[in-house]
Amino acid sequence: MQTKQTESGTQAIQRALSILNCFVRETDSLSLAKISKLVGIPYSTASRIVGILEQESFLIRDKHTKRYSLGRRIYVLGYCAKQSDFLRKVIYSYLQKLRDEFEETAVIYIREDNYRVCLEKVSAFHSFKFSPAIGSRYVLWAGAGGRGFLAYASPQEQDSFINDSRNLTTFTNTDKKSIMKELYNLCKNGYAYCVNEYQEGFSSISGPIIDGDNNLLCTIAVTGPTSRFTPSIINGLKTRIPEYCLEISSTFGWNAETNQTNCLFPSPSLDYIMQCLN
């Protein structure tokens, strides 16, 4: 019974994807009958699947012609894919320079729902190193790579994430006021520094990449064994990462000259962050 249900679910997914694939460049809209014929499924089955796709905004139905076309969700996904690819192209050379200068792994993180995800990495040459898998997910409330996302989250999200925080190691920071101070320092100085917070024995320094509308696109981070994070490495990263973040952000439209605050990267939640420090 379970096998039949699994096969039925897989078949439904395949049919839904086949329906979306009907909308090629030359085809702007299709009737339900035409979709049924192209995919080779009963009209009733096509109606049910198309209804779900419409409900989730993957398809949209014209009230007058009753024909279907691609919905806004498809365009959002396409935009995200294009943006992510451009992020890689722009930032990859900076990751290489960070790895070569500091001899540790450099990473790009993007946000997906309530997590940060490793989008790209340039691994250190050491045998003992931080080496995340592309696509691996991490919480936002712990580790330097998550601090930028936390700083640019709404006040409601910040409270929710911090309330959900827990000790991953003995060094994990779960105190709200202390975390808010770190977020303020990130906005002010352009970097976050965490020691042994996400994984015992590893430290990280990260910075935010911002676009022209003051939206956070991603964070870049350098992570390695705490034993190799010497004072010279730490001070070098605290200088280099904000420098690179400013350069990269300018590529995406961020103009530091329009910044009227004393912070390098003032997040939209800066007032709330400062309020929590009092």
Q: In the prediction, which pLDDT does 26 show?
A: 55
Return per-residue pLDDT of the chain as tens, 278 residues: 444 444 477 888 999 999 998 886 556 789 999 999 999 999 999 999 999 999 998 999 998 999 999 988 887 777 677 666 888 889 999 999 999 999 999 999 999 889 999 999 999 999 999 989 888 889 999 999 999 999 999 999 999 999 999 999 999 999 999 999 999 999 999 999 999 999 999 999 999 999 999 999 999 999 999 999 999 999 999 999 999 999 999 999 998 888 888 999 999 999 999 999 98
Q: In the prediction, which pLDDT does 25 show?
A: 53
Q: CA 260, 206, 230: angle at the middle one, nearest 5?
A: 120
| 256: DSSP letter | G
Q: In the prediction, which pLDDT does 134 show?
A: 86
d(CA 237, CA 195): 14
How many beta carbons lie within 10 A of that of residue 93, not counting itself? 12
Helix 72-102, helix 231-251: angle, nearest 10? 140
Give the largest CA-CA distance in the chain.
69
How many beta carbons lie within 10 A of that of residue 235, not counting itself? 10
Sign of CA dihedral 217, 185, 268, 240: negative
